[in-house]
Amino acid sequence: MASILRRITAEDRREAADALDDLKATLAYAGTQLPSPGIDWQCASVTGIVLIDLGAAPTSVILQIVDLLRLGVRAQRARAEQQPWHPELGSAVTLNRAGGTPLPARVVGTSEKVITVRLDSWLIT
């Protein structure tokens, strides 16, 4: 029975080992580490569920990890809040030539990546 379960959980065990390696490498890059992380191989052989044991850690290490998580969450929220600017069809926009000369224009088409404008004046000097 154990060998069948072992075959069934082989991919899960590989994923757990990779995830633990990634966690340890990321924490090391940030200048901290958990003192005794590991994988509970026995639980996997009995239940089929692979658990990663983060071990006991002093408060100072947990606070470092909490700070890292907060920084990551803030960065992720900041990226989500940065919405690309898409003008409305027909709206007036001002383009600037080299040297700062304004060029009035109208938006005639938009897509996710391209904004098409028509210059209001063809007299460009």
* pLDDT (tens digit per residue) in 1-13: 567 888 888 899 8
Looking at the fold, whether 9 and 70 belong to one and the same domain comes out as yes
Instruction: List Cβ neighbours of 118 (8 Å cut-off, separation of 6 or more).
Output: 105, 106, 108
Q: Which among 61, 69, 8 is positioned nearest to 37, based on CA atoms?
A: 61
At residue 44 the predicted structure's pLDDT band, cuts being 50, 70 and 90, is confident
pTM of the model: 0.58
Looking at the structure of the chain, the number of domains it has is 2
Looking at the fold, whether 13 and 57 belong to one and the same domain comes out as yes
At residue 116 the predicted structure's pLDDT band, cuts being 50, 70 and 90, is confident
Domain range for 30 is 2-81
Q: What is the mean pLDDT of residues 113-123?
A: 76
Q: Are 90 and 120 in contact (CB under 8 A)?
A: no
Looking at the fold, whether 48 and 94 belong to one and the same domain comes out as no
